[in-house]
Structure 1
Amino acid sequence: MSLYPVKARLTACLAVGAVVSFGILVPTAAQAAEATKPAPVVEIVRGDVMNYAVNVTRANNGQTKKVERAVVAAGGHVIASYPQIGVVIAQSDNTLFREGLAGQQGVESVGATRTAPVAPTDPTYGIVEPVATTDSLQRRAAVTKDEGVEGHREVVPDPSESLQWDMAAIGADQAHQITDGDKKVLVAVLDSGIEATHPDLAANVDQSKSAGCLSGVADGSYESWQPTTSSHGTHVAGTIAAARNGVGIAGVAPAVRVSAVKVVSDDGFIYPEAAICGFMFAEASGADITNNSYYIDPWQFWCDSDPDQRAVKTAVDRAVQYTQQKGVLNVAAAGNSAMDLANKVEDDSSPNDTVPVVRPIDAGCTDIPAELDGVVTVSSTTSTGALSSFSNYGLGVIDIAAPGSAILSTVLNGGYGTSSGTSMASPHVAGVAALLQSTHRRATGSQLADLLYAQANDVACPAGVTACAGTPADNGYFGAGLVDALEAVQR
């Protein structure tokens, strides 16, 4: 269970012999033949069904198609293909699939996405047609006009707002005197799904932007993104955007939209193929911000020293970096192992889909997506402002802090419940980022991150705690400090 419940010129680029006609690169006959010839056949030995992330040497349609053919020739089939990042998700029962495919032209690396075989009941099992999951989706037109914010207004509290200590701690209750956020802003919740009929969420869940990704391919049907076994995603969504409607509670940004991007299986696993699909779908469907309150299974830390883990980490990172280049802000929970992420030594909980082993880990081992470049990594605080006992920490890893202990929010069956974890801290930051996006409509994701850090309230390390390290403006427990919703909406 990996949820967290308790970061030249044109001529120089042309191939020899190619010609340019009206600005279009025209391949020679030899190049055209090379692009269409079948991939070499490799040895096939049938065994367990496994899923793989295949990284293409160059992110373009031609190279990706070539690798897709190589997948088939190696005894596999394509689950999903992302030419824009050069990643193919494949499935095969060939025990020599990785070794055979790794030597093919256009293939940079290949890695199994899990250690347990793919069961016949798994949503990815037996998908046989390659699907470019985002090619047909159109990103909404960029907003170029600053819409401004509302002036001071009278706010009638929702019935249980007085129990939300977390909102007062980050100034959200005061921020709501100015604005509840802009309906144009969309936060994608990559999680276990969102109960779209919940009375505090129904108005803000954008069903047209929601999808299930458990099969590795985005499925926009209503059933695909509804929660089945877990309230986790519904709880996260409530913290971000529970509506101000006279019912229950209010989220950090009660007027913004959220989308449900389901990446968590009924067994509680978030496998790489689902997470990659989630990131790519979120960007393609127009999300401004994603919230990621999980780590990707089956490894708590994906290590460069292992070829499978290194290849999968590369594939996930390509998806994350692509979304960020497109202007999305990705926010992630730091994790609940009370571990110094800047000084990793040992992991005894991975792989969690088979039998965990005790293994040494180091700086080359990464919690993904939390430790990927550009991701806003969030630690958790208590109602007294201390670091939550379960929260991971680490100088240079933690970017910002938010409340995560005993957080009241929405749960399944139209209810409300209290949960603790960095999973609960991360959506506070995503909500404040949504307020920032509401008041800074031209800001890109990286600019939103800078604003988050600039407006956070510095929190000094506890006296005598050497593990915290750093200065009040940037330390290993709280990063840039406690997120501030009020400052986010002030000019």
Structure 2
Amino acid sequence: MVALAVPLFGAIVAAPVASAQPALSGATTEFSVLARDGQSVASVERAVRAAGGTVVTSNAAVGLITATAPANGFAERVSADRSVFGAAKAKAIGTAPKQGKAKVKPGVVEKEGRGAASAKKPVQANAVGMDPLDDQLWGLKSVRSDLSRTKQPGDKRVKVGVIDTGVDGSHPDIAPNFDRAASRNFTKDIVSDVNGAVVDGPCEYRSCVDPVDHDDNGHGTHVAGTIGAAANGFGVSGVAPNVTLVNLRAGQDSGFFFLQPTVDAITYAGDAGVDVVNMSFFTDPWLYNCTANPADTPAQQAEQRTIIEATTRALNYAHRKGVTQVVSLGNQHSDLAAPQPDASSPGYPSNSTHPRQIDNASCLSLPIEGPHTIGVSSFGPSQAKADYSNYGVEQISVSAPGGYFRDYFGTPWFRTVENQILSTYPRNVGVAEGMIDADGNITPDGVTAGIKKATAADGRVGYYQWLQGTSMASPHASGVAALIVSQYGKGSRDFGMNPDAVQRVLEGTASDIACPVPRTVDYLKEGRDASFTATCTGDASFNGFYGHGAVDAWSAVTRGSQYLRG
């Protein structure tokens, strides 16, 4: 199964009543075509060709096919076939971009601390097996990875897939644990959208397909470092510093995650024997995929139904193949059982958004609200729920350190970068963002942002940045999940562990955190508006802010055996 194209949904048509076939016209365009449940990929491929399209690639695990065809008429033609669930117009091929820099998916939460002052918190001595910058990783100590590695640092046979924007496999803290051969890039750079607005910008490589050890965004490399940066006496170490890291790239340089590459990455994880995947994203272009939202057109409604169906199939497939799927809860400061109105969708192409009321019964944020996912909320160094973090008993499983820039209100530590999560940073991204100069020195802006540089005696250089978000919380949980598989997994040839058992151990060994008193927390004094106000429901053993509790690596590898059987 190989992904050669990036479907970006623009219009989709569910199978209608048979009628006269429309004429084909317009520029060559990419489409995604989903097989109806129980129908073969071969039958849908025949339908694609009969409708005037060309099959580019097929994902047999879920029945998702990428095809090219004239822009007009093809979706209606192919959707008329009984084997087809739906057909989605993706993007016109060969559009010229307007002038401007690449459009980057908003990351205001994650980079909120850029430009903040340092609090100069006291430095603690590192434990055995810790790296020089680990004294600044409060999250590592919060999950007790400093202790767990003395018993279980991770097994090289355990593969953790990072479904993200890419992984810088050359980073000195990533390289020792990086499996380039198993890594895949399921995306293709998108120069511009159908309106000519810049998306990823000019391709860095002639094929517009980045190498599997490359990251032009930085998000995926940060996630990978938190999970499994090597404990090699250099820079930082991860929660599980001896496991194997696999790049399963599904995110664009700009930070968009579209259906076809996301589905391909999830199903490949199952086929490649990956044990744990981390998914710190939502599938674009819809923050919530609604089956019949009245604010959406019929074509948009059908598009979202197809996204739900294809993603559900992929998550089920990976689970059957033994993949533990850890997902960030999201940064919309919403109770996922009572979501707030959405004015950000569809986020692609440009100028497409419209306001929508979100009905919890018929709208899903994916992949977090799909089957077999372990949802992770975020807290700060004081263990206060981060103001941005989604919450609610409906989707949460556990909580983990994700950073909270505005933690410790009323103290010198309020609004300081050290309240966030420090992890690996690609040099190329640092240069592009103006944090590192062409000679490899940290710029004044980089110093203000807290960018770190480590230099080894042999000349190796690594860089590190502070970020916050549920995207930073879930890799802490993924690291603990990888340690659980390392400690309790079985099999000589196909080493691994049932994902349901992994989840039981992860949740059962988490440290209880009770709801705050009072249960309703506003963040007005921290500078947030009333939409951030959140109410915690549940008790100390399970509640909407922390789920079953904060993930605990030491407890997981020392007490987890009692939770192995359901």
How far the C-alpha of 1:81 sits from its partner, in A, is: 1.4
Note closer, same or farther for the CA distance 1:120–1:313 as it changes in structure 2 (3 Å cut). Answer: farther
Question: Shift in Å at residue 312 of structure 1?
Answer: 1.7
- Match for residue 261 of structure 1? 248
SS across alignment from 2:175: coil
Q: Which residue of 1 aligns with 2:376?
A: 378
Once the two structures are superposed, residues 127-150 of structure 1 have per-residue CA deviations (whole angstroms, 9 ceiling, x without a partner) of xxxxxxxxxxxxxxxxxxxxxxxx
Deviation, 1:266, is 2.2
Q: Which secondary structure does the structure 1 equivalent of 2:246 belong to?
A: strand
Secondary structure of the corresponding residue to residue 393 of structure 2:
coil
Distance 1:419 1:93 in 2: 43
Alignment of 1:483 with 2:480, yes or no, is: no
Once residues 41 and 212 of structure 1 are traced to their aligned partners in structure 2, the CA distance between those partners, rounded to angstroms, is 40
Deviation at 1:173, TM superposition (A): 0.8
Note the C-alpha offset of 1:41: 9.4
Report whether the alignment pairs 1:183 with 2:156: yes
**What is the RMSD of the two structures over their aligned residues, measured on CA atoms?**
2.4
Shift, 1:92, TM fit: 3.1
1:74 to 51, 56, 60: 51
Q: CA deviation at 1:332?
A: 0.9
Aligned partners of 2:162, 2:273: CA distance in 1, in Å? 13
Aligned-pair CA distance for 1:480: 1.1
Q: 1:133 matched to which residue of 2?
A: none
Q: Residue 408 of structure 1 corresponds to which residue in structure 2? A: 422
Q: 1:174-253 to 2 correspondence within 5 Å?
A: 174-215=147-188, 223-253=210-240
Cα distance in 1 between the residues matched to 2:19 and 2:270: 35
- TM-score of the two chains, using structure 1 as the length reference: 0.80
CA distance in 2, matches of 1:293, 1:461: 25
- 2:102 matched to 1:54? no
Which position in structure 1 is the counterpart of 2:327?
A: 332
**Which digits, 9 at most, give the CA deviation of each residue in 1:347-399, with x for residues without a partner?**
01111112221111112111111111111111111000011111111221111
Partner of 1:43: 22
Q: Is the 1:42–1:100 Cα contact (8 Å) retained in structure 2?
A: yes
* 1:55-454 → structure 2 map (5 Å cutoff): 55-59=34-38, 63-112=40-89, 117-120=91-94, 155-215=128-188, 223-305=210-292, 306-353=301-348, 354-355=350-351, 356-363=353-360, 364-405=362-403, 406-413=420-427, 414-442=462-490, 443-454=497-508
Equivalent-residue separation in structure 2 for 1:83 and 1:228 (angstroms): 28
Go from structure 1 to structure 2 and tell me whether the alpha carbon gap of 1:228 and 1:489 turns closer, same or farther (over 3 Å shift): closer
Match of 1:30 in 2: none
Kept in 2, the 8 Å contact 1:402–1:482? The answer is yes
> Residue type matched to 1:190 in 2?
I
Q: Is the 8 A contact 1:180 1:254 kept in 2?
A: yes
Letter of the aligned partner of 2:289 in structure 1? Answer: W
2:181 is paired with a residue whose SS is helix
Residues in 2 aligned to 1:382 and 1:426: alpha-carbon distance in whole angstroms: 13
Amino acid of the structure 1 residue aligned with 2:34? N
d(CA) in 2 for partners of 1:40, 1:482:
57
Change (3 A) 1:464 1:391: same
CA deviation profile, 1:387-424 (whole Å, cap 9, x unmatched): 11111112211111100000011111221111101110
Task: Determine the C-alpha separation between the residues in 1 that align with 2:321 and 2:38.
Answer: 15
Give the TM-score taking structure 2 as reference length: 0.70
Give, as a single letter, the amino acid of the residue that structure 2 aligns with 1:325: R
Q: CA deviation at 1:273?
A: 0.9
Check whether the contact 1:391–1:422 (CA below 8 A) recurs between aligned residues. Answer: yes
Corresponding position of 2:562: none
CA contact 1:59–1:84 (8 Å) conserved in 2: no
Q: What stretches of structure 1 of length at least 5 have no aligned partner? A: 1-38, 123-153
Secondary structure of 2:257 counterpart: coil
How many pairs were matched up?
414
Partner Cα distance (1:407, 1:345) in 2: 27
**1:179 CA displacement:** 1.8
1:425 CA drift (Å): 0.4
> 3-state DSSP class of the match of 1:447?
helix
Q: Deviations over 1:109-140 (max 9, x none)?
A: 3344x6xx345279xxxxxxxxxxxxxxxxxx
SS of the residue aligned with 2:549?
coil
SS at match of 1:280: helix
One-letter amino acid of the structure 1 residue matched with residue 94 of structure 2 = P
Question: What's the CA shift for 1:177?
Answer: 1.6
* Cα deviation code 1:331-360 (max 9, x no counterpart): 111111111111024101111112221111
2-structure distance, mates of 1:342, 1:392? 10
**Structure 1 residues 388, 474: closer, same or farther in 2, change over 3 A?**
same
Contact 1:338 1:390 in 2 (8 A): yes
Between the aligned partners of 1:449 and 1:49, the Cα distance in structure 2 is 45
Tell me the CA shift for residue 463 of structure 1: 1.5
The offset of 1:447, in angstroms, is 1.4
- Pair 259,41 (structure 1): closer, same or farther in 2 beyond 3 Å: farther
